[in-house]
Structure 1
């Protein structure tokens, strides 16, 4: 599938997306935009998104010369029916031209429908814990970006699992969702199922009995009422999420 954008940019996904596009995305965009502990290896990206039987949605943006300048990669977690957007990034020199917004508007809700996902989740840096850095962007700008799409924050301190054996967990994160604007709560069981599924997929079966994961799940359960977890506008993250106890 191909979607033409302004100024010669084009979104490619599905059968239009090749292993070479993914390699360009990794080399020209992701490797220069995502800290090492938060980035899948190129081998794993190709294994997931270049496989003939791939199920996880992905898209890149190419410029008028066919060079990959932006992209979005997601993963579907079937037990919880959660679509996790792992990466959304643009090359430094094309940031601010609306390519990330185009990917969200053109792809995200359609991907949710195609995968029958019950919700869309994303992990972003908590601006109170991560400063703006050259190449990696500004966490506060990222909050403003997703807030424009009606994102909500889940009200507990979050950390990302270790994505591969030699990597570390990443503390000081926010778990956010893009939901229907009328929704002020989400299904708590979906969140706990996702956390178990995600951490086990990344870190192995031992994660299921890990104290850090247990604290995350307890945070969900302790704030839920009648099986529903309240969520808050992302712009209000500082009031909604304590920045204490974020250690993995």
Structure 2
């Protein structure tokens, strides 16, 4: 299997058409023109996995250089290919590549909360997905999290978890005796505000956003 980064618009189109559209509900998936614009301006990073049978999966990340946070936006395997270890190899390769290239202080991801979402054959099992990320060291950031609308005027997606996949130790506010990280809330909140604004086309407002901000009022948050 070959796994590596690409900046090819044709690769992105194949990933969107052959992998992402079958793996995510419409409300959770950015449209292809939006992703193409992000690829062109360098904020979208794409890593793909191929073998002799073709495209096996892809990882896409959105880079927020002003805050030093990298969002793993999508990790998906081609239909019929789940459970073969491709996801683990793809995730590890992608994270290693992006940390080397970008040096983010924090890498995060969004997943459906198994307590609030049920699985499906098309979109996978939220419980298994969370278990997968936990095996790779993910920690749940304790926020009442919702995904921003992927299109201006569209709906936010409730009942999601924001995960911390990895962090640079020297840029944490501290590590407690039990191993819990103390994430500084100022850059985390700044990242979320930029993410919501770029996705929704306007600065975030509303009770969903107010609840997130209320959870980030202190200097740190334990994960």
**TM-score scaled to structure 2, two decimals?**
0.88
Structure 2 portions without partners, runs of 5+: 170-178
Structure 1: how far apart are the matches of 2:36 and 2:199?
17
| Alpha-carbon offset, residue 220 of structure 1 | 2.0
- Check whether the contact 1:48–1:54 (CA below 8 A) recurs between aligned residues: yes
Structure 1 portions without partners, runs of 5+: 1-8, 232-248
Q: Match of 2:200? A: 203
- Check whether the contact 1:112–1:119 (CA below 8 A) recurs between aligned residues: no
1:122 is aligned, of 109, 134, 146, to: 109
| Alignment partner of 1:62 is 2:83 | no
Matches within 5 A, 1:35-74: 35-49=25-39, 51=40, 54-65=42-53, 67-74=54-61
Q: Match of 1:213? A: 209
**TM-score scaled to structure 1, two decimals?**
0.80
Q: Match of 2:12? A: 22
1:191 is aligned, of 180, 188, 192, to: 188
Secondary structure, in 3 states, of the residue corresponding to 1:123?
strand
| Alignment partner of 1:178 is 2:165 | yes
Q: Match of 1:245? A: none
Tell me the matched-pair count: 213
Secondary structure, in 3 states, of the residue corresponding to 2:4?
strand
| Alpha-carbon offset, residue 104 of structure 1 | 1.6
- Check whether the contact 2:118–2:126 (CA below 8 A) recurs between aligned residues: yes
| Alpha-carbon offset, residue 45 of structure 1 | 1.7
List per-residue Cα deviations over 1:101-124 (Å, max 9, x = no partner): 111211203312321311001000
Structure 1: how far apart are the matches of 2:90 and 2:27?
24
| Alpha-carbon offset, residue 183 of structure 1 | 4.9
Structure 2: how far apart are the matches of 1:55 and 1:113?
16
CA RMSD of aligned residues (A): 1.8
Structure 2: how far apart are the matches of 1:166 and 1:88?
25
- Check whether the contact 1:195–1:217 (CA below 8 A) recurs between aligned residues: no
| Alpha-carbon offset, residue 137 of structure 1 | 0.1
1:11 is aligned, of 3, 20, 27, to: 3
Q: Match of 1:138? A: 125
Secondary structure, in 3 states, of the residue corresponding to 1:160?
coil
